[in-house]
Amino acid sequence: MEVNQLLQCYEQGDRDFTGVDLKGVDLNGAILVGVDFSRANLTGVNFSRAFLIRAKLNQACLHRANLGFAKMNEAELMQSNLTKANLSGAFLVKAQLFQANLSGARLPGTNLRGALLTHANLCSTDLQGANLREANLAQANLKWANLSGAKLIAAQLSGSALTGANFRRAYLNGTDLSSLDLDGVNFSEARLSGANFAQASLISANLMGAQMRSVHLGHTNLSGANFKGADLKRANLSWAQLTQTNLQQADLTEAMLMGTDLRNAELTGALLPESWRRYLELTHLGVGFSKIMGDEIKAS
């Protein structure tokens, strides 16, 4: 179908363009509110700054399509193919992307607040600075995704795959990350205050300089993790595994450390609760620590 024919039909009230072939056409800035492009071939289409509010693009092929700054609030893109598509700065508030394939897509600065992304493939996706507040990412594939600076407050991440994901400087305050495999994930300088990591695995994770006040890390495996300079005031670390963990200059004021395993942890310059400082000084456990005795551990 030619662009002029499509726009003319739309102006005449037609909204059903299911299965249409528009491969490579230019619809920059087009107003197509409520259009139905389900199962359409939209490969390489230029939808830059187009108005696709409440549009239906279920099972459509949008491979390498340009949707930069497009208005797509409440659009349906379930099971759509958006591999390597450009959605930079697009508005996708409350959009439905169930089982959508966004592998390798670009979404920096995209507004996905309240979007449905369950079971979506976001592997190696660029989500820098994206707004994912209240988004549902349950069971999503976020392996090697770049979420640096992204806003994920109140997002749902249960069962999601996060191997190699980058959350540097991301906003995750109060987010539920319990029971997730977060081994090696980068949370450096992230805002994590009040987040729930209960029973998660954070082996060798990078939490350097993270803001983690009142975070729940109970029964969590943190072996080899880097908490250097992290703010862990009032954090719950009860029964956590912290062997060979780097806690240099970390602030653990009023932290709960009941049953915590700190063998061979690096605590140089760490600010610990007074009770723990005395315990380490009076027991032989301190022998196995690196540079933690005497004045090198500060009491809170």
CA distances from 254 to 114, 116, 153 (A): 35, 38, 25
DSSP count for the chain of H helices, then E strands:
2, 2
Q: Which residues contact 179 (CB under 8 A, 6 or more apart)?
A: 158, 198, 199, 200
Is 0.85 surpassed by the pTM of this model?
yes
Token couple for 185: 């994930």
Residue 170 to residue 156: CA distance in whole angstroms: 15
Give the bridge partners for 62, in sequence order: none
Q: Which residues contact 283 (CB under 8 A, 6 or more apart)?
A: none
Q: Which residue, among 37, 188, 148, 95, has the nearest Cα to 202 in the 3D structure?
A: 188
Could you read off the pLDDT tens digit of each residue along the chain, which spans 300 residues?
899 999 999 999 999 999 999 999 999 999 999 999 999 999 999 999 999 999 999 999 999 999 999 999 999 999 999 999 999 999 999 999 999 999 999 999 999 999 999 999 999 999 999 999 999 999 999 999 999 999 999 999 999 999 999 999 999 999 999 999 999 999 999 999 999 999 999 999 999 999 999 999 999 999 999 999 999 999 999 999 999 999 999 999 999 988 888 889 999 999 987 767 666 665 545 444 433 333 444 555
Residue 173 to residue 186: CA distance in whole angstroms: 16
Q: Which residue, among 241, 261, 251, has the nearest Cα to 299 in the 3D structure?
A: 251
Q: Which residue, among 44, 38, 2, 46, has the nearest Cα to 17 in the 3D structure?
A: 38
Angle made by CA atoms 233, 236, 239, in degrees to the nearest 5: 135
Token couple for 17: 């363009």
DSSP 3-31: HHHHHHHHHTT--B-TT-B-TT-B-TT-B
CB atoms within 10 A of CB 13: 6
Q: Exposed, middle or buried by CB within 10 Å (0-12, 13-18, 19+), for 257? A: buried
Give the bridge partners for 236, in sequence order: 216, 256
Please tell me the number of Cα atoms within 13 Å of 117 on its side-chain side. 32
Q: What is the DSSP letter of 284?
A: G
Helix (H, G, I), strand (E, B) or coil at 289: coil
Q: In 171-225, which ranges are continuous DSSP H helix?
A: none
Contact 195, 174 (CB under 8 A): yes
Q: Which residues contact 27 (CB under 8 A, 6 or more apart)?
A: 3, 6, 45, 46, 47, 50
